Amino acid sequence: MIDYYVATFYSTNYALKCEKILKQSFINVKLIPVPRQVSSNCGLAARMDGEALKAFRGLCQEGSIEAENLYSVVKDGKKLIFTPLSRE
Amino acid sequence: MVIYMDNAATSYPKPEEVVAAMNYFFNEIGGNPGRSGHRLSLRSGEVVYDTRDALAQLFNIEDPLQIVFTLNATMAINMALSGLLKPGDHVITSTLEHNSTARPLRYLEGTGVELTRIECPAPNFQLDLDQLEQSICKNTRLISILHGSNVVGTVFPLEEVGKIARKHGIYLMVDAAQTAGAYPIDVQKAGIHLLAFTGHKGLFGPQGTGGLYVNPELKLDSLYRGGTGSRSEEDRQPEFMPDSLESGTPNAMGLAGLGAGVKYILREGLPKIREKEIELTNHLIKGLNSIDGVIIIGEEKAENRMPLVSFVMEGVTPSMVGEFLDERYDIMTRVGLHCSPWAHQSMGTFPEGTVRISLSYLNTPSQLDTLLQALYELSREEVRL
Ligand SMILES: Cc1ncc(COP(=O)(O)O)c(C=O)c1O
The answer for residues whose C-beta is within 8 angstroms of residue A73's C-beta and 6 or more apart is A2, A3, A4, A5, A6, A80, A81, A82, A83
Residue B384 has what pLDDT? 62
Identify the segments of chain B with pLDDT beneath 70: 382-385
Residue A88 has what pLDDT? 64
CB within 8 Å: B35 and A14: no
Distance B217 CA to ligand 1 centre (A): 26
- Let me know if B234 is exposed, middle or buried by CB neighbors in 10 A (0-12, 13-18, 19+): exposed
Verify whether ligand 1 is closer than 6 Å to residue B100 (CB atom): yes
Which domains are present in chain A?
Answer: 4-85 (3.30.70)
Residue A49 has what pLDDT? 94
* pLDDT surpassing 80 at residue A41: no
Same domain assignment for residues B195 and B342: no
Domain boundary, last residue among B245, B268, B291: B268
Residue B375 has what pLDDT? 96
Residue B65 has what pLDDT? 96
CATH code: domain of residue B79: 3.40.640.10
Contacts with B238 from chain A: Cβ below 8 Å: 10-11
Number of domains forming the structure of chain B: 2
* pLDDT surpassing 70 at residue A42: no
Residue B334 has what pLDDT? 95
* B346 near A CB under 8 A: no
Tell me how far apart the alpha carbons of residues B235 and B219 are, in angstroms, rounded to a whole number: 20
Q: Over the stretch A15-27, which tens digit does the pLDDT of each residue have?
A: 999 999 998 888 8
Tell me how far apart the alpha carbons of residues B272 and B284 are, in angstroms, rounded to a whole number: 18
Residue B3 has what pLDDT? 98
Distance B125 CA to ligand 1 centre (A): 19
Domain boundary, last residue among B244, B268, B292: B268
Nearest to B233 among A12, A32, A40 (CB): A40
The answer to the question of residue B225 being in a domain is yes
Residue B207 has what pLDDT? 98
Q: Which of A12, A65, A66 to mutate to test the interface with B (most CBs of B within 10 A)?
A: A12
CATH code: domain of residue B339: 3.90.1150.10
Contacts with A33 from chain B: Cβ below 8 Å: 36-38
Helix ranges restricted to H, B85-218: 99-110, 129-134, 158-168, 187-190
Contacts with A16 from chain B: Cβ below 8 Å: 34, 45-46, 48-49
Same domain assignment for residues B376 and B253: no
Q: Over the stretch B149-192, which tens digit does the pLDDT of each residue have?
A: 999 999 999 999 999 999 999 999 999 999 999 999 999 999 99
Domain assignment of residue B91, given as a range: 16-268
Tell me how far apart the alpha carbons of residues B381 and B383 are, in angstroms, rounded to a whole number: 5
The answer to the question of residue B2 being in a domain is no
Residue B246 has what pLDDT? 95
ipTM for the whole predicted complex goes beyond 0.90:
no
Same domain assignment for residues B314 and B237: no
DSSP state string for B239-263: -STTGGG--S---HHHHHHHHHHHH
Residue B382 has what pLDDT? 64
